[in-house]
Chain A
């Protein structure tokens, strides 16, 4: 049977418990069925298909499913991950502070060139906001990653976030392919965009 997709990317959702990681995976949270049997055994992962410039991209998305309560996530979970969504709750300062710890955990366990993105969830709760958008942006800049505020509840920016992460992984994958394909001439891997504020990116480049 012919392959039914062009790319398959494994993505992880990481962040403190209660930030709404599981909800990020519902498209319409109002409709969540909450099946007895399924809730009891738990979801392992989800497959989502997106179309990008006519290419079919399959996303295999894993939720930590409670492992985060132990403040650490095992290396096995990170294996093969190409992208990570770091999620905090804009109404919960602690979940934002902990992003630093999660990034350390990722650096210790995940592949060095895993693509990361920072998401501030529950942006519909403006009156309970504890973390300003600017602080989110600032932290993202510090780590050289992208940032978005989302509302899983109101489906704001959720699909855009997955699309953005998938696009960045695809770009990186294609660059790697080009670099390892000598038939295309003496092509050297170089940054096509001037990288201003991205110490992490430079580190990763030197590993390729």
Chain B
């Protein structure tokens, strides 16, 4: 899932919001409906989405800069919320549990979905 190349988020945004629906990149589960996330550009690193069986001891993080900001967890169509770790909770796909696809605050309100870690469906 490591992806260092630049990718263009502009075609995914309409009126500052996600133009299309957001789905799981692995199992296609519907995560967010169109227009429910606000585009935010900010630097946050998230732990890698590595499978348990090919895990190494050290936990690596990937710096990410493009997110869909979602006001609370109930705005999602389907999502998993992890337990808290160091003041943050992490988001996963509700169906296959791939993650972290983003993070949220302890009060389950402010959520950030990493745009690079999900499938953004934009039909032109």
Contact = CB atoms under 8 A, between A and B. Distances in A.
A, B assembled together: yes
B90 to A, nearest CB: 7
A42 interface: yes
A37 interface: yes
A46 B79 contact: yes
Contacts, number: 109
Interface size class of A (residues with CB under 8 A): 20 to 34
A38 B76 contact: no
Contact of B27 (A31, A44, A60, A65): A31
A38 B96 contact: no
B22 interface: no
Interface string B93-124: 11111111000000000000000000000000
A49 interface: yes
Contacts of B96: 26-28, 31-33
Given A1-B71, A47-B74, A36 B51 contact: yes
Contacts of A44: 81-84, 89
A208 interface: no
B50 interface: yes
B79 A35 contact: no
B95 A38 contact: no
A43 B81 contact: yes
Given A1-B71, A4-B75, A39-B52, A33 B81 contact: no
B64 interface: no
Contact of A26 (B50, B59, B97): B97
B100 A47 contact: no
Contacts of A41: 82-85, 90
Contacts of B26: 31, 33
Given A41-B85, A46-B81, A58-B74, 11 more contacts: A4-B74, A27-B95, A31-B96, A33-B49, A35-B51, A35-B97, A38-B80, A38-B99, A41-B84, A47-B80, A48-B78
